[in-house]
Each structure stands twice: as C-alpha cells, then as structure tokens.
Chains A and B, each alone.
Chain A
C-alpha cells in the first residue's frame, strides 16, 4: 500500500517539477508512436478500402491475415524486425537497428493491421447502393471518395485510435529494436521496464501514470472529433 502512495507522490512530484527526462521521454514516445500511426493510416486506409470494395483472388486470405495481425504479439514483430535490421540481417547495412526509425517500423507493423481492419469494417458497412447512386447522380471520383470518407468517419477515427493505442502501449518490440537507449530510443514503456528492473517502482509508476494520461488525452481529442459529428 505504501508503495502505491509513494508512486502517486513521485508521479505528482515529477510532473510538478517538470522533470526534464520525463518530458523528453514523453515527447519522444509521442513522436515515435504518432509517426508510426500516421504511416499506418497512409497505407492502411487505402488498403482497407481496396479490401472492402474490390473482389480479387486472395482477398479472403488477406483479410484473414489482417485479422491475425490485429492480435499479433509485439514480441513476434520485434524479433522479425530485429532479425532483418541486425548487422547480420538482410538490411543490416542500413544501420537502422537501435534507432527511433527501427521503432517506427516495428510500431507501424503493429498498428497497420488495426488500421486496415477497422477501415475495412467501416467501409464495408456502407450500403453499396449508396455508391451506385452517387455515380448515377453524376459525382466524379473525387466527390465519391470524399463522401465515402465522410460517411465512414466514425469508423476511420476508431481506426486511428486503435492504431495509436497499439503503437504507444507496446513494449516488447520497442525494447528489441530500439534497445532502450537513454536519450535516443527510450520511450515510456521501455523506461518503465528498466525502472521496474532497477527496483525503482515509484518512478515506474510515475511513468505509467504519464503513459495512461497521454493515451487518454489523445483519445479524448479523437473521441471529441468523432462524437461531435455523431451527435450533430
């Protein structure tokens, strides 16, 4: 019980004093996970749309792969990315292992299936007759695309939240490909693992509280955007 209080007090103190290291780790966490989510959206929403709207050979297999990917353990992705990026691996010459870029790649691979899956589901739920009607009314391609995005906004924002959540909360892959280097690749989750390992449970708890608050803040903004349209 005492440990829990100490953790809360330490968290409050670190926030109050504006601890430089915590702020730096928090900003890095946000940057890496946002970059990974942004890339996942760039690739994932179009892919989800293609899977939702087109019928082609191997589509079922792809959808099943996406659904599997949504439950992919980060440690599997971490190992795969590490094997590829290690010096002994096929892309070892890029010197990307233990860099933030490697972490973005790993988190991208984790959040991509989320984004594809959620986009697929929301776009597929649109009545196909609506699209036919739009064409019939003389809408051009851009207008149809715009309408489609507007209609599926709820689902697409859910995709953003799920993708970001997958990226920011994972620890296994970030440890393996980032190496938890102080000032370079240390993010909130990997710092928590280190502090727990060092027996600094108060600091670990403080970091955990920051992580939860950060995830909450991001989701609060996204939910506000999502629900405003829903209510209106």
Chain B
C-alpha cells in the first residue's frame, strides 16, 4: 500500500522536474529576452501614474514589453548593480553617481524634476511656516521636538526621499535617530503610507510634491510649510545598466532613454495631470542640468 503513495509522490516530483526542464530547454539558449525591458523605478514615480501613461506608447512604438518594477530607490539601484534590471529611473543623485562611477550603469541622464516640500500640521508647533531654508526648518523641528512639541516622521526605507531627508539633517548639523530621539519616528514604508501616518499623528514630514498633491484631499491635517530651497529640488534620472552584467537588454534600454528625452515625450511629462492640480507634477528637464536648474531662482514648481 505505501508503494501506491510513494509512486504518486514520485510522479508528482517527476512532473515538476519535467516542467522545469522543459522551460529551461525552451529558454536557456537565448541570451536575453529581446522584446522585454525591465525598468526598476521608485514607488513615488510609479504611484503618480506617469509611467503607466508613457510605457504603452513606448511599447507600441518598439514592440517591446516594459516590465515596470516599482520599489524603493535603494532597491532599484541595487537591482541595477546586480544586473536584475535593464534600465533604472530613480531620484537619488548622489547614489546614482556612485553607480555610474562604479561602471554599474553606462549612462545617467536627467529626465525631469520637481521639488520636495516639508509639510506638517496647520498649528505648526515648530513655527517653520513660510521659511525657505529647509535645514533651518528641520533644526527648529528638532528643537521643538526635544521640548515635547513637534514630531517628525521619516520614511526610513532608504528611498530617494529618505536619502534627501538625511542629507538635509546633515546640513542642519543634526543626526536624529528613532532610538535616541523621542520625537523622530521611522515608518519604513512608501510615501503615501508615511503621509497617511503623519496625517493621523499630526507630524511633520518630507514629501515629494507629486505624492502630496495626489493625496492632499485625504490628508487634511497636513499643509505645505517649507518649499523653495534649492536643496529641496528632486531630480529624476534615467540610467542604462552596463551590458557586462550579462543578459542585459542594452538596445531596449538605450531606446527607452532616447524615448524619455524626446521632445514630444518631454511635453507629455510636463503636461501630466497639470489640469487636475493646477500645477505640473513633473517639469521636463530638456537640455538643462542639475546645476543650471539649481542656479535659477524660479526653479520651483
């Protein structure tokens, strides 16, 4: 009798092995899937819906299917470094430059930008409203927090926004941590989850303008308080992963980069949801560089 069970078990295993072998035989001879492009990008960009607008246009033109993998910027860059994606679209300039210097990516090009905003409760216990010095505002939040007034909510997920926030704390000469500073909390989740928690807690936080605008009707307890600091600029760049990593669809990655920089696509990026919010979510970079944008005083959306 046990033989019967054993047979069924062996048969099941055999079927599974056969299926795996079959799949391997069908696929193993190919270098990579030529009509597939894996794009690793940030949640904040994907949540805005912009990529769902652009990808189908690219797919129709090139007959390449785009697999948009939406993760934190930290994870997206790591996927590039490991060769698990063909093209990256993220917003963490310093980390991106490191990837370029390592040779993990062969190009890095500015596509669009917008800005970060420090938002917080309307009663503004740290009195930062109207300031345009982000580091100074954070220092005031820290001071008020230590006195038991304000609370600050950090993404805490190694995302582009989190990296920006940490850089601003460094500028303020501070390094708050959730385990030493009662008023500093880490959510460890995406932007919208962080905004939802901040709204419930009446806490300050740093957000990209796009996600804030998209959620603003659901977060009445948060208002924009600090904007207009050149350090709050948010740069989105496209990177082609180095073909040396093996099985990278470099041709499709190059085509995608060229696509994003094309005039008509740049216009689409600039016009995206402009009617809905009365201001652009993303400003196309055109010929400009990060330095030239930061140098202009009217750079903020």
Contact = CB atoms under 8 A, between A and B. Distances in A.
Given A86-B82, A198-B192, A46 B247 contact: no
Interface stretch (B22-30, B140-148, B265-273): B22-30
A4 interface: no
B192 A87 contact: no
B9 A46 contact: yes
Interface stretch (A66-74, A138-146, A162-170): A138-146
Name the prevailing secondary structure of the A interface residues: helix
A199 interface: yes
Nearest to A145: B4
A145 B27 contact: no
A131 B68 CA distance: 55
B49 A94 contact: no
B158 interface: no
A88 B27 CA distance: 16
B177 interface: no
Interface string B1-43: 1111110110011011000100110011010110010100001
A199 B1 contact: no
B1 A87 contact: no
B189 to A, nearest CB: 9
B9 A43 contact: yes
Interface of A: 3, 39, 42-43, 46-47, 49-50, 53-54, 86-88, 92-98, 101, 131, 135, 141-142, 144-145, 179-182, 184, 194, 196-199, 201
Given A50-B6, A141-B3, A199-B192, 4 more contacts: A46-B9, A93-B247, A141-B4, A145-B4
18 contacts: A46-B8, A50-B6, A53-B2, A53-B5, A54-B2, A86-B84, A87-B83, A88-B245, A94-B23, A94-B27, A95-B36, A131-B1, A141-B4, A196-B193, A197-B43, A199-B214, A199-B218, A201-B218
